[in-house]
Amino acid sequence: MKTILGLDIGGTKILGILYDENGKELAREKKKTKANEGLDVVINQIYKVIDNLLEFENSELIALGAGVPGLVDDEGTIAFSPNIPFRDFKLGEKLSEKYAVPIYVGNDVNVAMFGEYKHIDRRASKHVLGIFIGTGVGGAIIIDGKLYTGQGSAGEFGHMVVSADGAYCGCGAQGCLEAYASKTAIQKYISKQLNKGRKSMFTELLEEDGAVLKSSSIRKAYDAEDELAKEIVDRLARYLGIAVGNLINLYHPEMIIIGGGITEALGEILLDKIISESRQHAMPGLLGTVNFEVSELADEAGVFGAYHLAKNML
């Protein structure tokens, strides 16, 4: 049976799913990335995931796709990855040596958002943007039904300056969206408020969650009408609303998909606030022409997008 393999290579784990030609899942495999054990170990972990999946009965692999964090060019070369020891590493070429099929390697956010797009495209929208709120803020651009990456790195929505002379961003610049709307920025804001002596459920929630606050905890505090939680959600919606307004004025897309853990945890609550804020920034008449969706695939968006991008190479 002809099969297509989708991989999501993350900083902590590698998820692979083997699909048939119609996108039906046949098998899945998950392994640790072991990013801190060096490049060769990581490559071996990737091979193991692929090889285990290829043992599926009568599987005849015809294409392979993968999403990886970092800057990836059209040839599948990873200039830099934040959590995995890939530096100017030709992952596409490396995989091609072992697996003689068309191979797609792309940025993880682009690949995952393409997965969401393929999952959601009931209305057959051709021009779609995805904003992904995670540790950072990523983005993806779909034009004429295809992923658009420009010279390779288009869609860095998190590094759109929304506030000149504003908050410092991890990238070194000031006022980037990511400095306001990422999970990192939110947790920093919460800590700052707690250090000021504000009372909030987040004191306990942070103790329970450990180093990284869970998205579900933000929802929990919001539902309990915690003042700080309400403030955080409003602040998040404010900056995402500006960004969404900007993106509408810049791309006039048919659909915007907003994704990531926080988005999925807050759902319509956040989406309604974002739309309401973006009303002040989108040009008259444009906002009403754009459909909004919240991502739905969570951790599986990446593999599903990788499957579709691999399939597109055939």
Which chain residues interact with a second copy by CB under 8 A? 71, 79, 127, 139, 141, 143, 148-157, 159-166, 171-175, 238-239, 242, 245-246, 249-254, 280-281, 283-286, 289-290
Distance of alpha carbon 137 from alpha carbon 123, whole angstroms: 26
- Quick one: tokens of 89? 């590493």
Looking at the Cβ atoms of 52 and 174, the one nearer to a second copy is 174
Least spacing, CB of residue 14 vs a second copy, in Å: 26
Spatial CB neighbours of 236, under 8 Å, sequence gap ≥ 6: 133, 180, 181, 186, 262, 270
Looking at the Cβ atoms of 54 and 257, the one nearer to a second copy is 257
Question: Do the beta carbons of residue 1 and residue 19 sit within 8 Å?
Answer: no
Least spacing, CB of residue 189 vs a second copy, in Å: 15
Q: For the CA atoms of the chain, what is the radius of gyration? A: 20
Question: Do the beta carbons of residue 273 and residue 233 sit within 8 Å?
Answer: yes
Least spacing, CB of residue 30 vs a second copy, in Å: 31
Spatial CB neighbours of 145, under 8 Å, sequence gap ≥ 6: 126
Least spacing, CB of residue 313 vs a second copy, in Å: 18
Half-sphere exposure of 277 (CA within 13 A, CB side): 19
Least spacing, CB of residue 250 vs a second copy, in Å: 6
Looking at the Cβ atoms of 14 and 237, the one nearer to a second copy is 237
Looking at the Cβ atoms of 210 and 284, the one nearer to a second copy is 284
Looking at the Cβ atoms of 41 and 286, the one nearer to a second copy is 286
Strand 291-294 relative to strand 60-68, pairing: unpaired
Q: Given strand 77-80, what is the order of strands in its sheet?
A: 71-72, 77-80, 87-90
Distance of alpha carbon 307 from alpha carbon 67, whole angstroms: 10
Least spacing, CB of residue 219 vs a second copy, in Å: 25
Question: Do the beta carbons of residue 78 and residue 273 sit within 8 Å?
Answer: no
Distance of alpha carbon 17 from alpha carbon 191, whole angstroms: 38
- Quick one: tokens of 264? 């999925």
56: left (phi > 0), else alpha (psi -120 to 50), else beta?
beta
Looking at the Cβ atoms of 102 and 166, the one nearer to a second copy is 166
Looking at the Cβ atoms of 2 and 252, the one nearer to a second copy is 252
